[in-house]
Structures are given as structure tokens and as C-alpha cells.
Copies of this chain bind each other. A is one copy, B any other.
Amino acid sequence: MANQPPISALPIPEEGELDPELQKYFAICREKLGLVPNVLKAYSFRPERLRRFIDSYNEIMLSEGPLSKLEREMIAVVVSAYNRCTYCLVAHGQAVRRLSGDPILGEMLVMNYRMADLSARHRAMLDYAWTLTADPMALSEADRARLREAGFDDAALWDVAETASFFNYTNRMAHALEMQPNREYHAMDREPPDAD
């Protein structure tokens, strides 16, 4: 595959040129994930921005909080589906497959979340994320009320909003850089669970 498109439309430094802390972070990625996500390589063009991105990302997606990690990944995929952001759909679609153990759910959210077999809680959560992405000016207290009825408290409501908002940032960075996802994601976690 000599002919693949580049990871980013802007230059990417050699990994050895990065400061030791980032080099170590990349090494940990390789160990834990089996790869360095291309978004990190693309951001390494601006190391200070990469550090901020890692911090924000880990806080929003991985810290303890009222949304499960799967729920955050579901929001990531649905926002990225609206924005048709290939990078995030590939990377977070894989995360939904892995965390849910349901490879079909991940694919359904990429295509049209309204056709997925969702709980009332998740349907409300994803409807909110979709509207916040597509028409943020349209949201009002009625939309927050619907989330509350579906069991989201104030902190959870914040996290739905911030996770969806964050991917409106990352999706645009990925579009601006024409960021290519790691090819390894595509084949991961496609096996349906045994009990299927």
C-alpha cells in the first residue's frame, strides 16, 4: 500500500524529534493499543497543542463521571456521523464495538443512530447530541427537561453537552487536516459475541 494518502495535510515530525514525555506517551499507546492513533501524530506538528489535546481528551472521555465510557463513545460517533468525519467515525466506531461487545451497535451509530436498538436513555442522549451539533440555537429548557426525564442529572447533562461539543471541535480539526485514520481500526472488534 505504498500509495496511501498522508495521515495529515500538514507536516508530521519524526517521532524521535519529539520531547521525551511525548515519545513516552506514544510508546505507551503502542503498548496498550497496539498503535499510535494518527490524531496524535497529526497533532505532533504542534507539540504544545498535542499536550492540551491529550489532557482535554483524557478528561472528557476517560475520567470518572456520570456517563459511562461507552456512552461517551456513542456520543462521539453520533456527532461525527452528523459531521461525516471519517477519522472519528473509524476510531470511535471501533471503541463502541469494543466497549459494548456489540459490533452491530457501533456500525448502526455510524450510519443512523435512530435505527439502532437503543434504550430510552440512550435515545434521549443521542437526540440531544445530534441537535447540539446540527442546530445548537434550537436547544432550550425543553431539551434539557427531556434529558432529565431520561435520568440525567445536572452533571450528566453537562457531560452530554461537553462531549458532543468537544467532537464538534475534533471533527473540524480532522476535516481541516484531512486526517486519515489508522488502518488497523477497521478490522478490530468485528466479531459478534458468542451469545449472539
Is A115 close to B, CB under 8 A? yes
Is A96 close to B, CB under 8 A? no
User: Is B132 a contact of A178 with CB atoms below 8 Å?
Assistant: no
Which residues of B lie under 8 Å from residue A176 when comparing CB positions? 132, 136, 139, 161-162, 165
Which of B107, B114, B158, B169 has a CB less than 8 Å from the CB of A169? B169
Chain multiplicity (copies): 6
How far apart are A144's CB and chain B's nearest CB, in angstroms? 6
Is A76 close to B, CB under 8 A? no
Tally chain A residues at the interface, Cβ within 8 Å.
68
Is A33 close to B, CB under 8 A? no
User: Is B172 a contact of A132 with CB atoms below 8 Å?
Assistant: yes
User: Is B180 a contact of A187 with CB atoms below 8 Å?
Assistant: no
How far, in whole Å, are A193 and B83 apart by their CA atoms in the complex? 30
Between-chain CB contacts (< 8 Å), 21 pairs: A4-B117, A10-B158, A48-B63, A49-B59, A49-B162, A52-B55, A52-B56, A84-B111, A84-B112, A84-B137, A85-B112, A86-B111, A112-B137, A115-B178, A136-B176, A162-B173, A162-B176, A165-B168, A166-B169, A183-B196, A186-B192
The 5 A-B residue pairs whose C-beta atoms are closest, nearest first, are A161-B176, A165-B172, A169-B169, A136-B175, A86-B115
Starting from the known contacts A161-B173, A165-B172, 12 additional A-B residue pairs (CB-CB under 8 Å) come to: A9-B144, A10-B154, A45-B154, A46-B155, A84-B111, A112-B137, A115-B180, A133-B172, A136-B176, A161-B172, A165-B173, A187-B190
A residues within 8 Å of B by Cβ? Answer: 1, 3-5, 9-11, 45-46, 48-49, 52, 55-56, 59, 63, 81, 83-86, 89-90, 103-104, 107-108, 110-112, 114-115, 117, 132-133, 136-137, 139-141, 144, 154-155, 157-158, 161-162, 164-166, 168-173, 175-178, 180, 183, 186-187, 190-192, 196
